[in-house]
């Protein structure tokens, strides 16, 4: 899914982040507010932080100074010109909270399209499709997987892509793979490279990846093929393709999707994202994190890619002394640029600095 095809970016939007704005569970909403190239956030809805501003809650210099209010009705009063309601939280359990129904209905009646990251699909519910038809709005379920006609097994066709492909993998879940991928893409474009990127999670799709599928909703046999198709599509339009990874090759719960991503995009270079203070896996306290060296070894054993660098949450100098690879923290000054330099060095300087048009 490429939301750029459906909106005239940046489209003014309300971001629904009820109860989670500024928290780890609200990371999709947080990312949309700070980074989306598709949506310009005009108001955030979150009753827990209402009355404050987005920049205050996120403590991020890149966050816009927009208000946080308690309801969509209040948001429409603040910004009647909005075109979309973006649901940036997917509650545990996967269902649509009853308390959100009025807010979504209010947005649709006001003429807003709805972009949903929920596990349930509004576009398959007669109530929501009927309401959207009545008010002339559209429903986008970003977690909805490709239809059966668009599923195939991987066949190695990605080898024919002329673009250089860079995959971000990690030592665990939630170690900054999407953030690293996006910031590398932005830094590459600012440096004059003709770059595009592929998302494999809902946040990336909502902030403007050139192609994206929530990969954990794709049947296992077809994951590599879906990734091949996305990389091929972006590679036909750009000289350099950044791909968001998921989980870790050593993760006993999720390594299947990680390996499918590695084989589906068959990268030229890999960046490993790592939290050096992480000892056990997120949500799996009985599983120990295997660490950078194990991931590097597996990447290079299971593909033809070279690991170019480590994107660390720690101090880059400290972590750099522990590894034989370049290490940078994207939140440190010059960190993303240092990662990009390591990537382009690994690629051998063959990637063209062409125009950065879409």
Identify the helix (H) or strand (E) that includes residue 42: strand 39-45
Mean pLDDT of the chain: 94
DSSP assignment of 227-276 equals HHHHHHHHHHH-SEEEEE--S-TT-TTTHHHHHHHHHHH--SEEEEEE-T
- Average pLDDT estimate for 264-284: 96
pLDDT score, position 168:
98
pLDDT in tens, 137-195: 999 999 999 999 999 999 999 999 999 999 999 999 999 999 999 999 999 999 999 99
Rounded Cα distance, 293 and 304, in Å: 17
User: What domains sit in the chain, N to C, each tagged with a CATH number?
Assistant: 3-141 (3.40.50.720), 150-346 (3.40.50.300)
Which residue do the tokens 């024919």 mark? 160
Question: By three-state DSSP, how is residue 14 classified?
Answer: strand
Minimal CA–CA distance to 273: which of 186, 335, 217? Answer: 335
Alpha helices in 120-254 (DSSP H): 126-135, 177-190, 202-207, 223-237
357 pLDDT above the threshold of 50 = no
Rounded Cα distance, 310 and 212, in Å: 24
| Cα diameter, the chain | 61
pLDDT in tens, 20-79: 999 988 989 999 999 999 999 999 999 999 999 999 999 887 789 999 999 999 999 999
pLDDT in tens, 331-351: 999 999 999 999 999 998 555
Rounded Cα distance, 242 and 248, in Å: 17
221 pLDDT above the threshold of 70 = yes
Which pTM does this prediction carry?
A: 0.92
358 pLDDT above the threshold of 70 = no
């Amino acid at each position: 899914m490429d939301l750029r095809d459906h909106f005239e970016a940046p489209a003014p939007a309300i971001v629904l982040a009820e109860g989670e704005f500024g928290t780890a569970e609200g990371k999709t909403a947080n990312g949309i507010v700070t980074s989306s190239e598709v949506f310009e956030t005009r108001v955030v809805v979150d009753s827990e932080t209402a009355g404050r501003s987005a920049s205050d809650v996120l403590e991020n210099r890149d966050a816009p100074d927009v208000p946080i209010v308690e309801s969509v009705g209040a948001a429409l009063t603040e910004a009647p010109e909005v075109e979309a309601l973006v649901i940036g939280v997917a509650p545990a359990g996967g269902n649509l909270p009853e308390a959100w129904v009025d807010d979504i209905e209010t947005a649709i009646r006001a003429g807003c399209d709805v972009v949903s990251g929920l596990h349930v699909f509004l576009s398959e519910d007669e109530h929501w499709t009927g309401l959207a038809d009545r008010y002339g709005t559209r429903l986008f379920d970003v977690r909805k997987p490709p239809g059966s006609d668009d599923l195939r097994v991987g066949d190695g066709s990605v080898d024919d892509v002329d673009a250089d492909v860079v995959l971000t993998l990690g030592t665990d879940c939630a170690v900054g793979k999407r953030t690293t991928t996006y910031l590398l893409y932005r830094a590459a474009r600012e440096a004059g490279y003709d770059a595009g990127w592929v998302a494999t999670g809902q946040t990336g799709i909502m902030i403007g990846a050139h192609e994206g599928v929530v990969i954990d909703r794709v049947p296992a046999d077809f994951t590599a093929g879906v990734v091949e198709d996305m990389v091929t599509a972006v590679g036909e339009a750009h000289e350099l393709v950044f791909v968001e990874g998921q989980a870790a090759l050593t993760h006993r719960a999720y390594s299947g999707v990680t390996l499918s991503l590695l084989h589906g995009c068959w990268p030229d270079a890999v960046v490993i994202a790592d939290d050096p203070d992480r000892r056990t896996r997120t949500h799996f306290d009985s599983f120990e994190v295997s660490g950078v060296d194990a991931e590097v070894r597996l990447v290079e054993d299971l593909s033809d890619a070279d690991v170019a660098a480590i994107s660390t949450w720690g101090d880059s100098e400290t972590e750099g002394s522990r590894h034989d690879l370049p290490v940078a923290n994207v939140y440190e000054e010059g960190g993303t640029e240092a990662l990009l330099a390591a990537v382009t060095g690994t690629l051998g300087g063959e990637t063209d600095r062409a125009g950065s048009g879409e």
